[in-house]
């Protein structure tokens, strides 16, 4: 559920990076923090970790002010992947406007991928969101490793779902991270444009929306701290 | 409370004391008065404190812009860590509470099912106890009936062994009596042994009567235990009744007043020994019920369906109404411990039922008791 402050024309969306433990959700966010140069970019907050595992969540706020006066922001969150932190996952997932599912490409992790995707479906239901309705992008991470499922097999497997194409990524090398994020942005735009009149009222079309939020780091953005 | 979804304001993030302290520190560093406010009152003397793309407060004062800006950055730097701590703490508290509530619900459910299990365990224990009682009773019954059978076999064995000697004793005594008579005739009329011979004859007669009585008892014992019969055979119920009455009489110090009215009966295919035992048990009860003044009456007859009816009536004390239902229960007895097994009528009932018959006890306390036995012969009269 986006927050829209009509007085200040401030619009905030919540994107959640979901996936099994150690699939690379935080790495995605760190890469986005490095790669992205949106007009406005906050500090990446890593709340607390233990042995490289997220305990609470990570947060990266980004945004832009359009010439038409809209103050649009995205809050990018990760959830803890470990099974025992389900309450935290549910709390972070509540009121989400979009989800990036970061799966692990290794053969040994396919069962974890499946059960975490099921867990996503269940938790979305619990916080009143339909998985078929929410903008969702799927990424298969760790393509740099050896014992991984073939790309063709993954495309084939996800063909019948509402979510192809699945994006191949190696977050640790910065590959596929932006592509995944951009796919999510396009899907998000399709849904929020009619509701908030981004094109009609604020003259922001899809290409502008994606470009403003995911432009690469060639200029200096507002780095905050 | 500060949830991670909510907007942050510096004045809410820090307590008034902490705000004062921060203002004093910033003022000391800046070398002039600086204040932290949620909205600027003098715009040209205020610098925003930005955190996560939001302005969370303002640093206001007459210090140079660069100094104000550094102070604002310092405040933002602090905000970063305070916010981080608060978010983590609150999220941790919320998830812990949620988990705790879920655990409590599970605990309640567990207690409930534990209670149900306890009830189930109790009822199972009760059933086990009942079954143990049934098994114990059955065991005792089995033991008693085995004992009765052993006694019956012993009696039959004794009867068989006595039968031959008593036969020649009777026969010899008869011959001896005749010899004494011949001797008396052969002697002269005035011999001196006249009184001795007379006495001798009386002794022999008395012994002969005694021997005949022994023979009768042996015959009754044989009938009673049916030593000569196969387990199931055609038997005369009246003969069984008479033999049993004789046996009961021999157990008494003074003969019992037993009246019989037996009418001709069709033969019954049955287990003679067990039927005798059943009749004996009923009669034995009647014998114990009557005082010296009482009378026992035994009747037999048959009806048009070919059923044999046996009634044993006494004028004894009767059975109180509240225990009439229990007289057929195993080990139920009103007599003192040691004087009865409480199995008499139980055995009688089991035997009658094994012959597809019925047994019924009617009693009027103080007046007497009537036990009725109905035994089907399977033969209808034309």
Chain B residue whose CA is closest to A14: B5
| Interface list for B 89-148 with A (CB within 8 A) | 91-92, 94-95, 98-99
Q: What is the DSSP string of B95-145?
A: HHHHHHHHHHHHHHHHHHHHHHHHHHHHHHHHHHHHHHHHHHHHHHHHHHH
From chain A, which residues contact B within 8 Å (Cβ)?
14, 40, 42-43, 45, 47-48, 55-57, 59, 61-63, 73, 85, 87-88, 91-92, 95, 222, 224-225
Q: pLDDT (tens digit, 9 = 90+) per residue, B277-313?
A: 889 889 888 888 887 778 899 999 988 888 999 999 9
Cβ–Cβ below 8 Å for A48 and B94: no
Chain B residue whose CA is closest to A89: B95
Cβ–Cβ below 8 Å for B51 and A224: yes
Q: What is the mean pLDDT of each run of 10 residues along chain A (225 residues)?
A: 83 96 94 90 84 86 91 94 89 94 96 96 95 96 95 94 95 95 96 93 93 73 36
Q: What is the pLDDT of residue B230?
A: 58
Q: pLDDT (tens digit, 9 = 90+) per residue, B113-165?
A: 999 999 999 999 999 999 999 998 888 878 877 776 777 778 778 888 888 89
Q: What is the pLDDT of residue B65?
A: 92
pLDDT at B225 over 70: no
Q: pLDDT (tens digit, 9 = 90+) per residue, B59-104?
A: 999 999 999 999 999 999 999 999 988 888 888 898 889 889 999 9
Domains and CATH numbers, chain B: 10-105 (no CATH), 231-382 (3.30.565.10)
Give the pLDDT band of residue B341 (cuts 50, 70, 90): low
For residue A128, being part of any structural domain is answered with yes
For residue A90, being part of any structural domain is answered with yes
For residue A224, being part of any structural domain is answered with no
The CATH number assigned to the domain holding A99 equals 3.40.50.300
Cβ–Cβ below 8 Å for A47 and B95: no
Query: What are the strands, taking DSSP E only, across A20-166?
Result: 40-41, 45-46, 49-50, 53-54, 58-65, 71-78, 98-104, 136-141
The answer, for B53 touching chain A at a CB cutoff of 8 Å, is: yes
Q: What is the pLDDT of residue B381?
A: 44
Give the tokens for residue B39. 């909205």
Q: What is the pLDDT of residue B144?
A: 72
ipTM of the complex: 0.81
For residue A20, being part of any structural domain is answered with yes
Q: What is the pLDDT of residue B330?
A: 66
Full domain range(s) for residue A46: 3-214
Q: Hey, which of A129-138, B194-203, B271-280 has the most confident mean pLDDT?
A: A129-138
The answer, for B331 touching chain A at a CB cutoff of 8 Å, is: no
List the single range of A162-176, B211-225, B351-365 with lowest mean pLDDT: B211-225
Q: Which helix (H) or strand (E) holds B220?
A: helix B194-225
pLDDT at B189 over 90: no
For residue A221, being part of any structural domain is answered with no
Contacts 24+ apart (CB under 8 A), B173-176: B173/B204, B173/B207, B173/B208, B173/B211, B174/B208, B176/B204
Q: What is the pLDDT of residue A224?
A: 34
Cβ–Cβ below 8 Å for A85 and B95: yes
Within 10 angstroms of residue B23's Cβ, the number of other Cβ atoms is 19
Q: Is the peptide bond before B219 cis (omega within 30 degrees of 0)?
A: no
Contacts of B4 in chain A (CB under 8 A): 57, 59, 92
Contacts of A47 in chain B (CB under 8 A): 84, 87-88, 91
For residue A114, being part of any structural domain is answered with yes
Give the pLDDT band of residue B338 (cuts 50, 70, 90): low
For residue A220, being part of any structural domain is answered with no
Cβ–Cβ below 8 Å for B88 and A48: yes
Within 10 angstroms of residue A79's Cβ, the number of other Cβ atoms is 28
Q: pLDDT (tens digit, 9 = 90+) per residue, B258-267?
A: 888 998 888 8
Q: What is the pLDDT of residue A77?
A: 96
Cβ–Cβ below 8 Å for B91 and A85: no
- Under a CB-based contact definition with an 8 Å cutoff, are residues A209 and A185 in contact? yes
> What is the crossing angle of helices B272-289 and B194-225, to 10°?
110
Closest-CA distance of chain B to residue A47, Å: 6
Cβ–Cβ below 8 Å for B53 and A56: no
A47, A61, A224 ranked by CB distance to B84: nearest: A47
B73, B80, B94 ranked by CB distance to A43: nearest: B80
Average pLDDT, chain B: 85
Q: What is the pLDDT of residue A225?
A: 34
Whole-model pTM: value is: 0.60
The two counts, helices (H) then strands (E), for chain B are: 7, 10
Q: What is the pLDDT of residue A222?
A: 39
Q: pLDDT (tens digit, 9 = 90+) per residue, B368-381?
A: 899 999 999 876 54
For residue A219, being part of any structural domain is answered with no
Q: Render the burial of B327-340: b for 16+ CB within 10 Å, e for the rest.
A: bbebebeeeeeeeb
A43, A55, A95 ranked by CB distance to B52: nearest: A43
The total number of structural domains in chain A stands at 1
A45, A61, A85 ranked by CB distance to B84: nearest: A45
Which residues, at least 6 apart from A124, have a Cβ–Cβ distance to it below 8 Å? Answer: A93, A96, A99, A130, A131, A134
């Amino acid at each position: 559920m986006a927050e829209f402050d009509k007085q200040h024309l401030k619009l905030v969306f919540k994107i959640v990076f979901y996936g099994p433990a150690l699939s690379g959700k935080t790495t995605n966010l760190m890469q986005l923090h490095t790669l992205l140069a949106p007009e406005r970019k906050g500090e990446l907050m890593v709340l607390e970790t233990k042995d490289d595992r997220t305990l609470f969540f990570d947060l990266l706020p980004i945004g832009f002010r359009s010439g038409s006066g809209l103050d649009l922001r995205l809050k990018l969150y990760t959830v803890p992947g470990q099974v025992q932190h389900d309450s935290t996952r549910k709390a972070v997932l509540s009121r989400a406007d979009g989800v990036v599912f970061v799966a692990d490409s290794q053969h040994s992790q396919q069962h974890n991928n499946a059960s975490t995707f099921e867990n996503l479906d269940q938790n979305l239901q619990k916080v009143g969101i339909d998985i078929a309705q929410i903008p969702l992008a799927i990424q298969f991470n760790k393509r740099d490793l050896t014992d991984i499922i073939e790309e063709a097999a993954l495309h084939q497997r996800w063909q019948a779902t509402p979510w192809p194409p699945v994006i191949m990524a190696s977050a640790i090398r910065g590959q596929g991270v932006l592509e995944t994020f951009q796919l999510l942005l396009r899907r998000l735009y399709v849904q929020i444009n009619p509701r908030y009149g981004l094109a009609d009222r604020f003259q922001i079309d899809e290409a502008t929306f994606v470009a403003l939020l995911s432009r690469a780091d060639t200029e200096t953005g507002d780095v905050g701290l | 409370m500060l949830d991670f979804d909510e907007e942050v304001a510096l004045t809410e993030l820090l307590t008034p004391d902490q705000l004062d302290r921060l203002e004093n520190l910033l003022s000391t560093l800046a070398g002039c008065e600086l204040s932290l406010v949620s909205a600027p009152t003098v715009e040209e003397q205020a610098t925003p404190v930005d955190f996560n793309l939001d302005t969370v407060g303002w640093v206001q004062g007459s210090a140079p812009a660069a100094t104000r800006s550094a102070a604002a950055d310092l405040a933002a730097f602090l905000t970063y860590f305070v916010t981080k701590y608060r978010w983590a703490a609150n999220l941790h508290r919320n998830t812990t509470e949620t988990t705790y509530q879920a655990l409590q619900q599970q605990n309640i459910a567990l207690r409930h099912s534990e209670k149900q299990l306890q009830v189930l365990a109790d009822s199972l224990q009760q059933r086990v106890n009942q079954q143990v009682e049934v098994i114990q009773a059955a065991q005792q019954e089995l033991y008693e009936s085995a004992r009765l059978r052993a006694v019956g076999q012993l009696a039959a064995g004794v009867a068989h062994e006595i039968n031959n000697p008593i036969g020649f004793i009777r026969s010899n005594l008869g011959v001896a009596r005749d010899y004494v008579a011949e001797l008396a005739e052969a002697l002269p009329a005035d011999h001196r042994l006249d009184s001795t011979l007379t006495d001798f004859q009386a002794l022999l007669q008395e012994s002969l009567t005694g021997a005949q009585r022994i023979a009768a008892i042996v015959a009754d014992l044989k009938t009673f235990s049916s030593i000569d019969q196969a387990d199931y055979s055609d038997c005369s119920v009246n003969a069984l009744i008479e033999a049993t009455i004789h046996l009961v009489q021999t157990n008494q110090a003074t003969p019992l007043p037993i009246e019989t009215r037996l009418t001709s009966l069709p033969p019954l295919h049955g287990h003679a020994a067990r039927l005798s035992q059943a009749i004996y048990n009923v009669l034995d009860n009647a014998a114990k019920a009557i005082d010296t003044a009482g009378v026992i009456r035994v009747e037999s007859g048959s009806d048009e369906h070919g059923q044999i009816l046996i009634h044993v009536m006494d004028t004894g004390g009767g059975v109180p109404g509240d225990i009439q239902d229990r007289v057929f229960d195993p080990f139920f007895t009103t007599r003192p411990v040691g004087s009865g097994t409480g199995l008499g009528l139980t055995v009688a009932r089991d035997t009658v039922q094994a012959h597809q018959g019925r047994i019924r006890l009617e009693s009027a306390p103080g007046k007497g008791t009537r036990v009725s036995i109905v035994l089907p012969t399977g033969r209808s009269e034309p």
